Structure 1
Amino acid sequence: MNRLQRSGPRRWGIRAVFAVVVCLSLTGVPSASAEASDVFWNETGVGVWRYDSTFGVWVDAPGTVPESPFQYRFDYLCLIDNNNFDLACLAATAECNAGQNGRPVRWWWKLVVAGPNDWSRISPDRCVYLEKPEDVLSKIAAQIQTKFQQLPVSPGNAVMQPSPHTLRGAETNFYAEAVEQTFGVDMLGQRVSIVAKPVEYTWNYGDGTSLGPQTAPGGPLPQDRWGEKTLTSHVYSQTGDFPVVLTTHFQGTYSVNGGPALPIPGQGQFSSPPQTISVWRSITRNYADTCLQNPQGQGCPGVAPPP
């Protein structure tokens, strides 16, 4: 008969959790020939874990971060020179009455792989508002990455299984809960909508090791599979309390006055506050009887552990 014992103070409330983890760590992950999957729910919908026989882990991850296949450009309509517009032309274009000195803009798009002249018009025409006819959209484009990094983007939550305690030498599953977020800001007198989408994740496990950036956010494992290796799991080799920090990398798009969604170059990186995980060690001994048969046996409630 196996009884699980721990070193240090007796905390019987979590004994059952540790027993599950130890049992799983002895059982191990499925063999390389296993064909298995598991469905789970998260904040963004339904996901599927599958067993990757090449790496011997359970995975839930896209392959790469997608890049926009489109290019965009704009033209000020009815512009004669940097300071003058054709008034007769303006009278026939979109009305720009949401602010002072509104000017119509026409947007165009094309595929990156298309020819240099294969631009298509985006309807309807939009407006920009400025005191002087200047290239305000280009100025916004030059400032948008800095503005993106300054936004109060929530980095999401770092979830650990088991938590807040785990075992030394066992696989601890980590996964990120991060969602797409939308912000409205004013830039150079224009109304700009910014969308931040999580695309990559970096884990600092607090023991001097880290993982990422990688596209896998991970996902929850049912309790009967705690202890299995995943793309985001980690094995602590020492006991103690460790601060875990999740950094989520966001890609962004922005839209000026309801125009097309334009890509923001680069990424914004946002880190969550440290979360502490306590790593304990376990000792397993074999006994011939149970705690019901021998309540004073080692490892039973109320019995001091051996020195």
Structure 2
Amino acid sequence: MEADAAGVEFPGFTLADLQRLPLPAGEPALEPGNGYVLINVPANVYADAEPVELATDVVGFPVQVRATPARYSWAFGDGAVLGPTEDPGAPYPDLRVTHIYTAPGRYDVVLTTHYSGEYSVAGGPWLPVEGEAEVVSPPVPVEALAARSALVSGAAPS
């Protein structure tokens, strides 16, 4: 265990310490990106989250912390949830994480980013933090619309 010049021992760095840091919320993206989706058609979702390195102080010890997005959870506002999953999803055409709304309405999509962490005390070795810190994004509103098709005679208008 590390000790400072006065003989004070470093108490360790816990999940609660990691959770108190200003970890950024992942950015949820929903495609199509116009705020509307069609019911019964898969809507593509993906997370944009990057690793961060932060400096902090624990009882006088300088601590560097690395937080890495490890998993993602989605709440789609209609009662459906997905995750946590290691796959952040991807922009179209890679439809790796999707959701199908089955009823018209306005919904809020919420992403929770789960960070794994490591810490280094006074330039020492990197040590793991047990557990994952969770950061919830602001909700992204989406409106699910019902569409109908109709056969018409003649050429489509241009």
For the pair 1:155 / 2:25, whether they are aligned, the reply is yes
For the pair 1:252 / 2:123, whether they are aligned, the reply is no
Q: Contact 1:140–1:188 (CA<8 Å) still a contact in 2?
A: no
Give 1 or 2: higher strand fraction. 2
Q: Is there any run of 5+ residues in structure 2 with no aligned partner, and where?
A: none
Q: Report the AA paired with residue 31 of structure 2.
A: Q
Say which SS state the counterpart of residue 258 (structure 1) adopts.
coil
Q: Within 2, Cα distance between the matches of 1:149 and 1:244? A: 22
Name the residue aligned to 2:90: 219
Name the residue aligned to 2:38: 167
Q: Report the AA paired with residue 17 of structure 2.
A: K
Q: Within 1, Cα distance between the matches of 2:112 and 2:145? A: 25
Q: Which moved more, 1:174-183 or 1:154-163?
A: 154-163
Q: Report the AA paired with residue 87 of structure 2.
A: A
- Displacement of 1:272 in angstroms is 0.1
Q: Within 1, Cα distance between the matches of 2:46 and 2:59? A: 39
The number of residue pairs the alignment matches comes to 157
Q: Within 1, Cα distance between the matches of 2:135 and 2:5? A: 33
Say which SS state the counterpart of residue 16 (structure 2) adopts.
helix
For the pair 1:178 / 2:49, whether they are aligned, the reply is yes
Name the residue aligned to 2:16: 146
Same amino acid, percent of matched pairs: 31
Matches within 5 A, 1:1-307: 128-131=3-6, 133-134=7-8, 136-137=9-10, 139-141=11-13, 144-163=14-33, 164-222=35-93, 230-292=95-157
Give 1 or 2: higher helix fraction. 1
- Displacement of 1:202 in angstroms is 0.3
Which is higher, the Rg of structure 1 or of structure 2? Answer: 1
Q: Within 2, Cα distance between the matches of 1:170 and 1:274? A: 21
- Displacement of 1:130 in angstroms is 4.6
Say which SS state the counterpart of residue 146 (structure 1) adopts.
helix
Distance 1:290 1:265, change over 3 A: same
Q: Is there any run of 5+ residues in structure 1 with no aligned partner, and where?
A: 1-73, 75-104, 106-127, 294-307
Q: Within 2, Cα distance between the matches of 1:265 and 1:159? A: 29
TM-score, length-scaled by structure 1? 0.49
C-alpha RMSD over aligned residues: 1.7
Say which SS state the counterpart of residue 267 (structure 1) adopts.
strand
Q: Within 1, Cα distance between the matches of 2:12 and 2:127? A: 11
Greater RCO, 1 or 2 (C-alpha within 8 Å, sep 6+): 2
